[in-house]
Amino acid sequence: MARNLDKLESMVGYHFLDSRLLDRALTHRSFSAFNNERLEFLGDSVLGVIVSAILYRLYTDSEEGELTRMRAQVVKKDTLAQIARRLQLGDHLKLGGSAAKGGGTENDSILADALESLIGAVYLDAGLEQAQITVEAVFEEELSAIDPGRTAKDPKTELQELLQSKGLLLPKYKVESISGSSHEPDFVVSCYVEDNQLVQTGTGSSRKSAEQAAAKKLLLILR
Amino acid sequence: MARNLDKLESMVGYHFLDSRLLDRALTHRSFSAFNNERLEFLGDSVLGVIVSAILYRLYTDSEEGELTRMRAQVVKKDTLAQIARRLQLGDHLKLGGSAAKGGGTENDSILADALESLIGAVYLDAGLEQAQITVEAVFEEELSAIDPGRTAKDPKTELQELLQSKGLLLPKYKVESISGSSHEPDFVVSCYVEDNQLVQTGTGSSRKSAEQAAAKKLLLILR
């Protein structure tokens, strides 16, 4: 098969010694048992330590909690998918079955996983130093957009801190329903505060995202 | 102050170029604003990538989920505290206030955090390669005890997989109550399966641990 991986390597700024690693990083589990899932496991950790070290050295006044929030902003799925789109990773993915038919090259999770796999592949091909150079180049825009003062806390954290500052009890979350398939569930979660006097309901594709949506609604009311 | 850090350095197998880094790694937030929290942020990531890479290379037949479970077993708080005790880290900690009076040198969280901080300090002092040598030495026992076939899945994962294999709906978890202080909460969580026909309740110091306890009880019944 003649995929033009040279173009991708130019965009990433790294030419692989072992091109099978790059091929593997671009292979989704729907295509083959020889897919990128193990590379993703590794790449996730490699990306984590690189971003942690950059933030640690750059923001010497930021406390642990702020560093953690900044890191989460850089490595979250949305950000990774955005970078993967900029690199046009989707054009080079190997997908099979329903993922190939169902617009998998535009799927945030598939794109984010492939980018993590790519970082894992660079690490295996050339070591941590090269992986760091690659991450710094590819994440340049996202890393320079970080502003420690403005890093938003997630709504659940904000809600908890707001309640604690007022001496109130912690919020309670309750899963009201789970519909959809086990593969693509829809969660409805209620968030209760002040001994159930205030309730808001949120929805999402995971319990956590539904909880965040409910917490966000409550924050709007409590402020 | 004359702490005999030479002994600790011998046990860790690394002599610091910049001994202030080691001192910082051993300083709990109760003692000073110049404490180990930022080093812990960094060390957690450093340990993560080192253990991930070791497992990736060692267990070439293990899938991502198994690698993730094995890693969790090595880097979990219990394991880290156990290693910290072996290194007698507690003897060298700087603690203040209630942590000093309340047996902080025997506290699992404080010990685990100090070990992560120490790994972060080695990384800053001498780079990833030295941090890897140190982790391999210090975690030798725990790393060689790992058996991919026997890595236990957590009860929630096991319960979900069991229900899916039987074509049943996913379990629902509901927080029944949160008592205690916001600092030391007690969670009571119910787990419902088969459209609420089966219910078990678990308790724990976090929602997650209470959910795991409830899932464990249901597993015992369903098997």
How much is the pLDDT for A28?
96
- One domain for residues B131 and B198: no
- One domain for residues A9 and A111: yes
- One domain for residues B142 and B197: no
Report the distance separating Cα B65 and Cα B72, nearest Å.
11
- One domain for residues B144 and B105: yes
ipTM of the shown complex: 0.71
Which residues on neighbouring strands pair with residue B174, listed in sequence order?
Answer: A174, B190
- One domain for residues A103 and A136: yes
How much is the pLDDT for A179?
87
Report the distance separating Cα A185 and Cα A202, nearest Å.
14
**Mean pLDDT to the nearest integer, A140-167:** 82
Write the pLDDT tens digit of every residue in A168-181: 888 999 999 888 88
Q: Is A52–B63 a contact, with Cβ atoms under 8 angstroms apart?
A: no
Of the residues A32, A55, A64, A157, the best mutation for testing chain B's interface (the one with the most B CB atoms within 10 Å of its CB) is: A64
Angle at B45 between CA B41 and CA B46, to 5 degrees: 110
The domain boundary, picked from A112, A129, A150, lies at A150
Cβ-nearest to A38 among B41, B64, B182 = B64
Cβ-nearest to A56 among B41, B48, B49 = B41
From the candidates A9, A44, A66, A142, give the one annotated as an active-site residue. A44
- One domain for residues B143 and B159: no
- One domain for residues B144 and B175: no
Report the candidate in B95, B105, B119, B127 with the shortest Cα–Cα distance to residue B45.
B119
- One domain for residues B58 and B142: yes
Active-site residue flag, B140:
no
pLDDT level of residue A194 (50, 70, 90 thresholds): confident
Write the pLDDT tens digit of every residue in B42-77: 999 999 999 999 999 999 999 999 999 999 999 999
Whether the pLDDT of residue B191 is over 80: the answer is: yes
- One domain for residues A125 and A206: no
How much is the pLDDT for A2?
44
Q: Kindly state the percentage of chain B with pLDDT values over 90.
A: 65
Query: What token pair was written down for B14?
Result: 């690394």
The domain boundary, picked from A86, A117, A150, lies at A150
Q: What is the CATH number of the domain that holds A189?
A: 3.30.160.20
Rg over alpha carbons for chain B, rounded to the nearest Å, is: 20
- One domain for residues A175 and A110: no
Q: What residues contact A4, with CB distance under 8 A and at least 6 apart?
A: none
Report the distance separating Cα A113 and Cα A169, nearest Å.
38
Write the pLDDT tens digit of every residue in A53-64: 999 999 999 999
Domain total in chain A: 2
- One domain for residues B169 and B109: no
Mean pLDDT over the full length of chain A: 91
Q: What is the CATH number of the domain that holds A113?
A: 1.10.1520.10
- One domain for residues A85 and A169: no
pLDDT level of residue A151 (50, 70, 90 thresholds): low
**Mean pLDDT to the nearest integer, A66-84:** 95
Q: Is A38–B170 a contact, with Cβ atoms under 8 angstroms apart?
A: no
Inter-chain CB pairs, A–B, below 8 Å: 78
The domain boundary, picked from A98, A117, A150, lies at A150
How much is the pLDDT for B72?
94
CB atoms within 10 A of CB A170: 18
pLDDT level of residue B180 (50, 70, 90 thresholds): confident
Active-site residue flag, A44:
yes
* Concatenated DSSP letters of A41-94: HHHHHHHHHHHHHHHHHH-TT--HHHHHHHHHHHHSHHHHHHHHHHTTGGGG-B
How much is the pLDDT for A11?
94
Of the residues A50, A170, A173, the best mutation for testing chain B's interface (the one with the most B CB atoms within 10 Å of its CB) is: A170
Contact present, B173 and B190 (Cβ < 8 Å)? yes
The secondary element (H helix, E strand) that includes residue B126 is helix B108-126
How much is the pLDDT for B3?
62
- pTM for the complete prediction? 0.71
pLDDT level of residue B195 (50, 70, 90 thresholds): confident
How much is the pLDDT for B1?
42
CB atoms within 10 A of CB B86: 12
Whether the pLDDT of residue B18 is over 90: the answer is: yes
How much is the pLDDT for A98?
84
Structural domain containing residue A146:
5-150
Write the pLDDT tens digit of every residue in A86-109: 999 999 999 998 888 888 889 999
pLDDT level of residue A165 (50, 70, 90 thresholds): confident
CA distance B208 to chain A (A): 12
Whether the pLDDT of residue B151 is over 70: the answer is: no
pLDDT level of residue B2 (50, 70, 90 thresholds): very low
Write the pLDDT tens digit of every residue in A2-45: 467 999 999 999 999 999 999 999 999 999 999 999 999 999 99
Output B218 or B79, whichever has higher pLDDT.
Answer: B79
